[in-house]
Amino acid sequence: MASDESISTLKILMIGPSGAGKSALLIRYCDDQFDSESSTATIGVDFKMKKLSVHGKAYRLNLLDTAGQERFRTLSNSYYRGAHGVVLVYDISNRDSFLAMERWFEEVESNAQPGAVTYLVGAKMDKTAQRTVKVEEGMKMAEERGCVGFCEVSSKTRENVRKPFVEIVDAVVQKPELLSSGTRRMGTVPVDGGEGFGSGCSC
């Protein structure tokens, strides 16, 4: 893998209603931790980094977890600047969470740079007994909104937690015009290790 000095950085935002499971997904992906008892609403924005290799080229992910509460939306809008991709998250056990996604997609359209890729995630798939949103509904929304992918995840059981990140990065790096408009080079920063996965990515 390339030295830290030569690694390009990709900026990925995570957005969605408060309580959808964004923070839990990010913490499970980056730190492999899950603690439902300590989960609290994000205030403003949280930030994590992750290093991975896509098609033999090293990248560093800057992952921004934005607050879902309305009072923080003006603040988080500024974080769209230079973002290569946006992961939109809803709670499969909360129908209102899913219905609110239309507004979040509209926010992306209004604030994201041209060509930024989107990925839709249905979180908390371990709550199948309380499911109020069908898998097919999520797939349909993702297709209608032009997302590069869709999946359901469980931060509690680890199921599919790496899939949305792997697939959105794989889509981003296949768009040279998007990379040239936003990718920056950064110095050495602490990064988490990871395992190899499909879709040409190791994360």
Check: CB of residue 2 under 8 Å from CB of residue 73: no
Mean pLDDT of the region 35-59: 68
Mean pLDDT of the region 23-42: 74
Using CA atoms of 33, 172, 82, 21 in order, give the dihedral in degrees to the nearest 10: -30
Least confident of 42-51, 89-98, 167-176: 42-51
| pTM of this structure | 0.81
pLDDT interval class at 76 (50, 70, 90): low
Amino acid identity, residue 178? L
C-alpha to C-alpha distance for 118 and 72, rounded to whole angstroms? 21
Task: Please report the pLDDT score of residue 202 as a whole number.
Answer: 39
Looking at per-residue pLDDT, the higher value among 66 and 200 belongs to: 66
End-to-end CA distance of the chain: 12
pLDDT interval class at 189 (50, 70, 90): very low
Is the pLDDT at 39 greater than 90? The verdict is no
Is the pLDDT at 183 greater than 60? The verdict is no
Angle at 102 between CA 129 and CA 84, to 5 degrees: 100
Q: What is the pLDDT of residues 123-166, one digit of tens each?
A: 999 999 999 999 999 999 999 999 999 999 999 999 999 999 98
Mean pLDDT of the region 94-107: 95
Helices (H), the chain: 22-31, 73-77, 95-99, 101-111, 135-144, 163-172, 176-182
Check: CB of residue 92 under 8 Å from CB of residue 124: yes
Mean of the per-residue pLDDT values of the chain = 80
Domains and CATH numbers, the chain: 4-202 (3.40.50.300)
Task: Please report the pLDDT score of residue 50 as a whole number.
Answer: 86
